[in-house]
Structure 1
Amino acid sequence: MLIRDFRKEDIDSILELFHHTVHSVAAKYYSAEQLQAWAPPIDSIDKEKWLNSLNEGVTFVAERNQDIIGFIQMTPSGYIDRMFVAKSQQGSGAARLLWKKLEAKARILGIEELTAELSIMAKPLAERQGFRVIRKQEKLHNGSVFINYVMSKKL
């Protein structure tokens, strides 16, 4: 498995991975309406907006056999905006390696604390990586209400 920097040519694979992961892995936690709000059809996703966002801070991808199997994104302030691993790679260690690479980069950048608003499905993984829950919240996204967790980790 290779963890590397995001490249703009990764965008289509990342959007497919995001959409498929939300609709497969998250399906046991969220309603069909919530899944559609979170990950609408790929052709309706603003690719340029995602590309700009992924390029704004630090984004790493996990690759296996030249296929992108996961990615993690952090803003310049240390906010983890996105982290997804393909359903077929759940439990492979990809998420842990992505977290570790991102934490190492954050330390190099002088970031003292990582923060995130994490889904029900991501919360246990974040806790295993040393994050703590600040608060549980309800968040409106594309017309649907989601429960998520504001979490942080001191570096």
Structure 2
Amino acid sequence: MTIRMAQESDIPELAQLYQETVLAIAPHYYSDEQTHSWASFAADGVRFREFILSGTTFVATDETGILGFAGIADDGHITSAYVRRDRIHQGIGSTLMQTLLDYAKNHRIERLYAEASEFSLGLFKKYGFHVYDTEIVERQGVEFKRYLVERGVIKKD
């Protein structure tokens, strides 16, 4: 597995990975309406492109293609953490999360924070994030509960 920076040319494959993963995993935690509303974000080309390219997004790849991606903004906001539906629970999410933590340390970002879904919360907790609040957000008229998580970063020597 290789980790690299996302490129403009990755966006179609990242959108497909995002949509397929949400459609496969979300039904275990969310209603059909919530699942389809969430997955539909990948079809919004302009917003999805911004989602990937506005911060620093890392992509995990191997000979089969893109395995997952995770993004971080300059202020420490973790914008994404997705693993291809057929490769979940194989260490890819952990590798990407460690990449984000290393990036934050190297760029002296002192606080990381995110809005975790029901199915990403475990990954965040595994890496020392704690829930400090919850929120209800609306997407296309559908409400979602998200967990607001944060953690500090060990300072670089």
Question: TM-score interval w.r.t. the shorter chain?
Answer: over 0.9
Matched position secondary structure for 1:59:
strand
Q: Letter of the 1:34 partner, please give it.
A: Q
Question: Considering only aligned residues, what root-mean-square deviation do their CA atoms show, in Å?
Answer: 1.3
Matched, 1:80 2:102: no
Q: Letter of the 2:132 partner, please give it.
A: I
Q: Where does residue 137 of structure 2 map in the other structure?
A: 139
Matched position secondary structure for 2:132:
strand
Partners of 1:132 and 1:145 lie apart in 2 by 23
Give the ranges of 4+ consecutive aligned residues of structure 1 lying more than 3 Å apart after TM superposition.
none
Q: Where does residue 28 of structure 2 map in the other structure?
A: 28
Partners of 1:66 and 1:2 lie apart in 2 by 12
Q: Letter of the 2:46 partner, please give it.
A: E
Q: Is the 8 A contact 2:41 2:48 kept in 1?
A: no
Q: Where does residue 58 of structure 2 map in the other structure?
A: 60
Matched, 1:97 2:95: yes
Change (3 A) 1:8 1:68: same
Give the Å deviation of 1:136. Answer: 2.0
Partners of 1:139 and 1:49 lie apart in 2 by 17
Q: Is the 8 A contact 1:56 1:76 kept in 2?
A: no
Q: Where does residue 39 of structure 2 map in the other structure?
A: 39
Partners of 1:58 and 1:28 lie apart in 2 by 29
Q: Is the 8 A contact 2:51 2:79 kept in 1?
A: no
In structure 2, list runs of 5 or more residues that go unmatched: none
Q: Deviations over 1:97-137 (max 9, x none)?
A: 00111111111221101000000111111100111001122
The number of equivalent residue pairs is 153
2:47 to 27, 39, 49: 49
Deviates more, 1:2-11 or 1:51-60: 51-60
Change (3 A) 1:8 1:118: same
Give the Å deviation of 1:48. Answer: 2.7
Partners of 1:136 and 1:149 lie apart in 2 by 5
TM-score scaled to structure 1, two decimals?
0.93
Partners of 1:148 and 1:52 lie apart in 2 by 21
Matched position secondary structure for 1:68:
strand
Matched position secondary structure for 1:120:
coil
